């Protein structure tokens, strides 16, 4: 099932839909503006909507490539798909090849961190500069209790898919706004995930968090972690919402140890959705960082 962009009308997201066919499954992506390519990768439970304000700000300066991972946003949502890290990395790699992009700047958030860095360590020649927003790309033993609860067999799937707990909770937990996300912004975040079937990848991402070495995605994440040194000569910016309940400053400190030369920009009052809580300041920092 593909949700067409024409079904969603909002000034918040006035973009044209593009699709790539991945062996019969359609992946939706934005391809807006002209100039040096900037690839932006979202996490869970968001979609390309999360980057809408960067795209608007970058029009006329950069070519903004923003895919919706399979199962997310306006991409197809097959119910029997292999929603694992390696698949998501390969999908993005195929999109880059289709668009014949030879060099790009990379912006990642949440699961986009592991997916984007997976692409980067496998194809380091692609990467010019990297912007990391609250995310991780390495193994770690920390997981918030509220996310761990969503991984409980049967109960977690019912909560995430039947009652939309993960998406609805994020409207409050992922932002530091007093009343959470509201209005057209809230509508945009919720729009692609209106039914049980729509939320298949939301639960797929939750299941795919590799906490133990016998998990199918653990060796993939371990491989990414072990090869991050291939990017040590790249310019990297770490932009962090310090009130993030999930990717706490513990993860920021790990990034800083891996990339000690990286520039860090901390937003003390912003949460996980740092692009919502500190939009103008974050976009300004990203813009200045990429122009240097």
Q: Could you read off the pLDDT of 251-276 as tens digits, one per residue?
A: 999 999 999 999 999 999 999 999 99
Q: What is the pTM assigned to this prediction?
A: 0.96
Distance CA 115, CA 132 (A): 12
Distance CA 43, CA 50 (A): 9
- What residue ranges define each of the domains in the chain, with the CATH number in brackets? 5-291 (3.40.50.1820)
What pLDDT is attached to residue 292?
82
Distance CA 178, CA 169 (A): 14
Distance CA 237, CA 132 (A): 6
Distance CA 107, CA 117 (A): 10
What pLDDT is attached to residue 140?
96
- In angstroms, how far is CA 166 from the centroid of its own chain? 15
What pLDDT is attached to residue 267?
98
Do the beta carbons of residue 130 and residue 233 sit within 8 Å?
A: no
Distance CA 231, CA 211 (A): 25
What pLDDT is attached to residue 9?
78
- Mean pLDDT per 10-residue segment, the chain (292 residues): 68 96 98 98 98 97 98 97 98 98 98 98 98 98 92 93 95 96 96 97 97 97 98 98 97 98 98 98 98 88
Phi and psi at residue 172, to the nearest 5°? -110, -45
- In angstroms, how far is CA 178 from the centroid of its own chain? 24
What pLDDT is attached to residue 5?
58
Two structure tokens written together for 233: 């000569």
DSSP state of 208: T
Q: Could you read off the pLDDT of 203-238 as tens digits, one per residue?
A: 999 999 999 999 999 999 999 999 999 999 999 999
In DSSP terms, which residues pair with 66 in a beta bridge? 30
Tokens 């993030």 identify what position? 244
Looking at the chain, how many residues does it have? 292
What pLDDT is attached to residue 281?
98
What pLDDT is attached to residue 8?
82
Tokens 């992946």 identify what position? 27
């Amino acid at each position: 099932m593909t949700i067409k962009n024409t079904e969603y009308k909002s000034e918040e997201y006035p973009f044209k839909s593009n699709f790539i066919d991945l062996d019969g499954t359609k992946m939706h992506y934005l391809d807006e503006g002209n100039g040096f390519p900037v690839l932006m990768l979202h996490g869970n439970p968001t979609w390309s909507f999360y980057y809408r304000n960067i795209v608007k700000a970058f029009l006329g300066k950069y070519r903004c490539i923003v895919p919706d991972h399979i199962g997310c946003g306006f991409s197809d949502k097959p119910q029997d798909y292999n929603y694992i890290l390696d698949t998501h990395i390969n999908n993005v790699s195929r999109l880059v090849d289709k668009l014949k992009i030879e060099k790009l700047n990379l912006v990642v958030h949440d699961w986009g961190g592991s997916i984007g860095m997976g692409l980067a360590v496998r194809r380091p020649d692609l990467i010019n500069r990297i912007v990391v927003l609250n995310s991780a790309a390495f193994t770690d033993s920390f997981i918030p209790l509220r996310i761990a609860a969503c991984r409980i067999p049967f109960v977690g799937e019912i909560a995430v898919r039947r009652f939309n707990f993960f998406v609805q909770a994020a409207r409050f937990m992922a932002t530091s706004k007093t009343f959470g996300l509201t209005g057209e912004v809230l509508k945009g975040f919720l729009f692609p995930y209106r039914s049980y079937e729509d939320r298949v990848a939301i639960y797929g991402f939750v299941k795919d968090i590799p906490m133990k070495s016998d998990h199918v995605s653990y060796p993939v994440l371990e491989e990414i972690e072990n090869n991050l040194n291939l990017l040590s000569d790249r310019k990297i910016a770490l932009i962090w919402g310090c009130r993030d309940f999930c990717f706490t400053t513990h993860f920021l400190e790990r990034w800083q140890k891996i990339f000690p030369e990286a520039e860090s920009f901390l937003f003390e009052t912003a949460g996980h959705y740092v692009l919502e809580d500190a939009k103008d300041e974050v976009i300004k920092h990203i813009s200045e960082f990429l122009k240097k």
